[in-house]
Amino acid sequence: MKKTRVINSDISRVIAQMGHFDTLSIGDAGMPVPKTTEKIDLAVENGIPSFLQVLDNVLSELQVQRVYLAEEIKLKNPKQLAQIKQRFPKTELVFIPHAEMKQNLQTCHAFIRTGEMTPYSNIILESGVTF
């Protein structure tokens, strides 16, 4: 059995297959996911698991060099944005329109759906390198 924090087999597989500049998305229960993008559905009920719980789990294994967030999070969910910023003190945060974020899901390795039900709790993580 794995000794690391990511024990979900699908999430572990996706992270292991990622290379430099590849992307992985984590989001709320309402985010529409393109049919061509793998969806790893963890949602159980409202808030379970939370966006931040899943983000922290993924960050325990994935090297991130850039983060993409919806511009709308600044006004519609500033508390969530503050929590995200705490997790990325030295990482570039790029704000894009939510409509563009939805389009960018087409090129993500996967979308991890959480039970989060707060607005614009979606993120695209760009993989970095560890060397």
For residue 63, how many other CB atoms are within 10 A of its CB? 15
Q: Is 109 a catalytic residue?
A: no
Residues 6+ apart with CB under 8 A from 52: 80, 83
3-class DSSP state for residue 67?
Answer: strand
Q: Is 9 labeled as ligand-binding?
A: no
User: Active-site residue among 20, 56, 93, 99?
Assistant: 20
CA distances in angstroms from 47 to 58, 91, 109, listed in the order given = 17, 26, 24
Does 98 show up as a binding residue in the annotation? yes
8 is in an annotated binding site: no
Residue 122 assigned ligand-binding role: yes
Q: Is 41 known to sit in a ligand binding site?
A: no
Q: Binding site for substrate: what residues are annotated?
A: 28, 98, 120-122
User: Hey, which residues are catalytic here?
Assistant: 20
Q: Binding site: what residues are annotated?
A: 28, 98, 120-122
